[in-house]
């Protein structure tokens, strides 16, 4: 390549986000993909999995070419990044490396029992699911699964599934030894744009329709174990139960939240997925709609590599204790207020919270537990009907070197100590409206 691949990947990510909801444009992109002998649905799979980092140069070229043609973005002209040899050889390389075993939608499954319009069950050989995965038909949805790990790539980072390698190896060994008892893998097939599945009650055939998004809702480790086993023995005939759900995002999250598998989901992530309290839903709104988007960790600790600031549990607990929302109306009111509050706070301290947060970790202004203090400050501003423009003056007046505050933020009991969290609330509650 002529230029740094990472530079191109960042531009492609932005372009994908800009066009992924435009059906006409995505269809044009898919047409270009088909011209290069790539399976139908490849682009949609990339949209859902965000996995452009593992594309070979030829497929990266096709992605760049297609986005350049449909967006007319001068920064995506392929000749800027790819050599003449890479461009000329892309089609031939893809044809040589595209397996004739690739599957495409629609796919029909026999002997499917309908439990309801949203739930179906059947039995399949797991090699079918392995084949679907290799054909990029099944993707891992971070919104409804375990929170991702962050893997550094150059100066940025990428999301990758958190995998217990020992569990995958153990499953693979049992499948190869014939000692693995049939288990269940759950797929979620749902779309608001198209009819994702069709079911014939007379023949008991369920068809996964063209362009249907298929995410794995439960059994990712089982599938990875099967993939590993089949790479060692392609003739393996391991049977599995297949559960097919047609859940929207919220229902899928609730379903995953109630599952307890061998690879136990961290309690902080379970709490986020279940969203049982009004404060949980408020934090989810902050995750989606506020300046804290991408900054709230689902785990018990933040990832500094990812620029995270605080955790879901810290915010939810603070909002529940301080604002105490008990109705859906109160939930909406608190959500709207905190979205505005953090818009002002982050805007006044862009470097500290958004642009270069890691450079300010020692100042404690963006310490994870400080967000308990910010929620308490927000409550005080709301109760006193203070102008949110005064936030900067108030925060500038906080002495982050104060021995009491410093001891609370760095308490050895850690981020999840209720005693520490209560003390932080009391600290800022007693501080009141003063700026000294």
pLDDT digits (tens, 9 = 90+) for 202-219: 999 999 998 889 998 888
Q: What is the rounded CA–CA span in Å between residue 297 and residue 317?
A: 14
Percent of the chain with pLDDT over 70: 86
- pLDDT over threshold 90, residue 366: yes
- pLDDT over threshold 80, residue 154: no
Q: What is the rounded CA–CA span in Å between residue 339 and residue 372?
A: 15
- pLDDT over threshold 60, residue 419: yes
Average pLDDT in the 315-339 region? 95
- pLDDT over threshold 70, residue 276: no
Q: Which residues of 368-398 are buried (b: 16+ CB within 10 A; e: fewer)?
A: bbbbbbbbbbbbbbbeeeeebeebeebbeeb
**Looking at 3-12, 206-215, 234-243, 332-341, which range is the least confident one?**
3-12
- pLDDT over threshold 90, residue 42: no
Q: Give the pLDDT band (50/70/90) at residue 436.
A: very low
Q: What are 217-268's pLDDT values in tens digits?
A: 888 899 999 988 888 888 788 899 999 999 998 888 888 777 654 455 666 6
Q: What is the rounded CA–CA span in Å between residue 82 and residue 421?
A: 53
- pLDDT over threshold 60, residue 435: no
**Looking at 160-174, 213-227, 285-299, which range is the least confident one?**
160-174
**Looking at 64-68, 117-121, 229-233, 392-396, which range is the least confident one?**
229-233
Q: What are 91-145's pLDDT values in tens digits?
A: 887 777 665 567 888 999 999 999 999 999 999 999 999 989 888 888 887 665 5
- pLDDT over threshold 80, residue 285: yes
């Amino acid at each position: 390549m002529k230029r740094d691949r990472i530079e191109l990947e960042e531009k492609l990510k932005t372009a994908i986000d800009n066009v992924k909801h435009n059906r006409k444009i995505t269809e044009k992109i898919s047409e270009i993909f088909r011209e290069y002998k790539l399976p139908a649905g490849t682009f949609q799979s990339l949209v859902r999995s965000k996995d452009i980092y593992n594309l070979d140069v030829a497929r990266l070229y096709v992605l760049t070419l297609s986005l350049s043609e449909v967006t007319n973005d001068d920064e995506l002209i392929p000749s800027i990044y790819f050599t003449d040899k890479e461009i000329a050889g892309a089609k031939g390389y893809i044809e040589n490396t595209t397996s004739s075993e690739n599957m495409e939608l629609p796919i029909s499954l026999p002997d499917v029992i309908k439990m309801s319009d949203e739930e179906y069950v059947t039995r399949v050989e797991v090699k079918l699911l392995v084949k679907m995965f290799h054909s990029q038909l099944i993707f891992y949805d971070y919104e409804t699964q375990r929170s991702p790990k962050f893997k550094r790539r150059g100066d940025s980072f990428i999301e990758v599934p958190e995998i217990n390698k020992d569990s995958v190896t153990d499953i693979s060994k049992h499948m190869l030894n014939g000692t693995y008892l049939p288990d269940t893998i759950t797929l979620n097939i749902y779309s608001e744009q198209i009819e994702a599945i069709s079911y014939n009650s007379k023949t008991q055939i369920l068809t996964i329709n063209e362009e249907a998004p298929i995410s794995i809702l439960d059994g990712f480790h089982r599938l990875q174990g099967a993939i590993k086993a089949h790479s060692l023995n392609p003739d393996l005939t391991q049977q599995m139960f297949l559960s097919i759900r047609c859940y929207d995002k919220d229902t899928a999250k609730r379903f995953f939240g109630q599952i307890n598998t061998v690879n136990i989901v961290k309690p902080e992530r379970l709490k986020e997925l279940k969203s049982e309290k009004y404060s949980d839903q408020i934090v989810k709104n902050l995750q989606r709609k506020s300046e804290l988007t991408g900054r709230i960790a689902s785990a018990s600790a933040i990832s500094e590599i990812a620029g995270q600031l605080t955790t879901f549990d810290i915010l939810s607990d603070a909002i529940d204790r301080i604002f105490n929302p008990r109705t859906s109306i109160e939930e909406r009111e608190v959500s709207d207020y905190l979205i505005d509050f953090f818009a002002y706070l982050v805007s006044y301290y862009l470097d500290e919270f958004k642009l270069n947060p890691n450079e300010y970790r020692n100042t404690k202004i963006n310490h994870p537990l400080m967000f308990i203090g910010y929620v308490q400050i927000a409550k005080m501003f709301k109760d006193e009907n203070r102008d949110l423009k005064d936030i900067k003056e108030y925060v500038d007046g906080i002495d982050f070197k104060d021995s009491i505050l410093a001891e609370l933020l760095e308490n050895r009991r850690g981020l999840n100590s209720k005693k520490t969290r209560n003390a932080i609330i009391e600290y800022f509650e007693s501080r009141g409206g003063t700026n000294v």
